[in-house]
């Protein structure tokens, strides 16, 4: 019988880390794994904290990829953007799956520590707001939540005023010679995007001439993927909240399920959905 402790194939494994960086050092695991600080002694609060922390980490990656994709599109490097946007979709799947884990929390369990949250709420996630801003959904009232933190507020304000992913895509349509309403190209990017006939006509031409506009066609489908999965995330969020707290007001003061149902009706890239009826 082979002694696995003396397996000659593993003689190269490093074991001396007195002066070398370890896996734990690289990932800063001591700080990461000590960041879960329940405010109650209830067993399930650990689940609640970890799910939300993990989701924030995934959102950090989503923002990293979307912001890089915007820059790549501006620079005409669509192939690079496709890889980044494909990664966003895969990451979104992870966040959606997280709701399945959180939904193991029952109303009776959550009520045992809910009061400890005070007015803290996922509604206040500034990374989620940055994702919305980067996709063109700009809401000025949300900025007020973050005024107590100048660094975060400035970051949000810059994203609020900046062109988003869809703006970059529309500019790519214009560079390809597809006529776009100049008011859309020069619009105030702090305003929520609204559907425009010239943009829809341009996308329709792309879908009707796939061979001629293959890269733009692929870009459009990447955008549809992201919106599709974001709406799935929103739906699973809404159903998980409804399953755990019903129609109670959220800890942050929102209407809870009512608010989450309302945002399901919003479209980030409306023309890409409208044209499906017309093709």
- pLDDT per residue rounded down to tens, the chain (279 residues): 455 555 656 766 776 667 678 999 999 999 999 999 999 999 999 999 999 999 999 999 999 999 999 999 999 999 999 999 999 999 999 999 999 999 999 999 999 999 999 888 877 899 999 999 999 999 888 788 889 899 999 999 999 999 999 999 999 999 999 999 999 999 999 998 999 999 999 999 999 999 999 999 999 999 999 999 999 999 999 999 999 989 888 677 677 788 888 888 899 999 999 999 999
User: Would you state the structure tokens that stand for residue 53, as one six-digit string?
Assistant: 């922390």
Rounded Cα gap, residues 273 and 189, in angstroms: 21
141 is in an annotated binding site: no
Say whether 251 counts as a known binding-site residue.
Answer: yes
Q: Which helix (H) or strand (E) holds 273?
A: helix 270-278
Q: Is there a binding annotation on residue 114?
A: yes
Annotated binding-site residue? 51: yes
* 50 labelled binding-site residue: yes
Q: Is 237 annotated in some ligand binding site?
A: yes
Fold of 43-277: Methane Monooxygenase Hydroxylase; Chain G, domain 1 (1.20.58)
Annotated ligand binding at 110? The verdict is yes
Is 49 annotated to bind ligand? yes
What's the pTM? 0.91
Please indicate if the annotation marks 187 as binding a ligand.
no
Distance CA 277, CA 27 (A): 48
pLDDT the model gives residue 1? 47
pLDDT of 30 reads 95
């Amino acid at each position: 019988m082979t002694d696995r402790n003396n397996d000659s194939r593993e003689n190269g494994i490093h074991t001396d880390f007195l002066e070398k960086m370890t896996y734990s050092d690289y990932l800063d695991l001591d700080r990461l794994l000590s960041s879960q600080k329940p405010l109650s002694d209830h067993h399930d609060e650990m689940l609640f904290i970890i799910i939300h922390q993990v989701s924030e980490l995934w959102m950090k990656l989503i923002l990293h990829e979307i912001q890089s994709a915007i820059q790549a599109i501006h620079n005409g490097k669509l192939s690079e953007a496709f890889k980044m946007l494909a990664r966003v979709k895969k990451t979104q799947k992870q966040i959606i799956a997280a709701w399945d884990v959180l939904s193991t929390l029952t109303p009776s369990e959550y009520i045992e520590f809910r009061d400890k949250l005070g007015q803290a709420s996922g509604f206040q996630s500034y990374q989620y707001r940055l994702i919305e801003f980067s996709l063109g959904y700009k809401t000025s009232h949300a900025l007020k939540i973050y005024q107590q933190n100048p660094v975060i507020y400035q970051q949000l304000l810059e994203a609020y005023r900046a062109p988003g992913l869809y703006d970059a895509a529309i500019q790519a349509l214009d560079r390809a010679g597809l006529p776009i309403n100049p008011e859309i190209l020069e619009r105030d990017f702090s305003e929520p995007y609204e559907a425009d006939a010239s943009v829809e006509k341009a996308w329709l031409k792309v879908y009707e001439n796939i061979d001629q506009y293959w890269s733009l066609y692929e870009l459009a489908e990447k955008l549809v993927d992201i919106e599709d999965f974001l709406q799935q995330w929103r739906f699973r969020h809404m159903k998980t909240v409804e399953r755990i707290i019903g129609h109670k007001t959220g800890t942050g003061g929102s209407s809870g399920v009512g608010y989450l149902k309302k945002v399901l009706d919003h479209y980030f890239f409306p023309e890409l959905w409208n044209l499906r009826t017309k093709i």
